[in-house]
Structure 1
Amino acid sequence: MLSWAEEAQRDGARLSSICKVLGLNKRTLERWRARGGGSDRRQGPRTSPANKLSAVERAQVLKAANSPEFRDKSPHQIVPLLADRGVYLASESTFYRVLREAKMLR
């Protein structure tokens, strides 16, 4: 990646534009140059979030969203209806995320 950035810079591209295309901070490229290597050492988070839904909880969200009662409703409508019954499965945004990941949104 560093060699590509250096080649683009030699061809006249600005470093800030290169970084934007690569999705990197300018300082990251500078650090890679100083270290003498250009491997991407980003690793992302080492642990999963403590509030991540379990597979069982995700299944409950999908089951609720696909139940005959809620089949024609959006998460915006489902969550308050469940809350009125004293049931909390997930937030509205989590409902949307789970449905999107399951490719169940129109």
Structure 2
Amino acid sequence: MWNTEKKTKEDLEHLRQRLDSMERNFKELQTKLLAPRPKQKFLTTDEAADYLEVSRNTLYRYMREGNVAFHMIGGKRKLALDDLDEFINRNHVGALPTIL
């Protein structure tokens, strides 16, 4: 014989645990979404050229060609660190797999 009352209690307990878990996940997500965004770090053209390890002329060419995003802030070009990292990752050339 199968005890349906026991099975029902187990099912309800399992559902309660899942709901508790979902509630915790929802609260964590809500906390992350409502948290203030960190300030974006901006670099001058000199700092950005040093960061990319290129000359200022090369950096200006990248900006002119639209390869590197920049912002005009107070009449000066400023480059977001996130944009520079994106540029670096976009130009990454991976190594070919080795043959053993």
Structure with the larger strand share: 2
TM-score bracket, normalised by the shorter chain, equals under 0.3
Higher normalized contact order (CA 8 Å, seq sep 6+, divided by chain length): 2
Larger radius of gyration: 2
Q: Provide the TM-score with structure 2 as the length reference.
A: 0.24
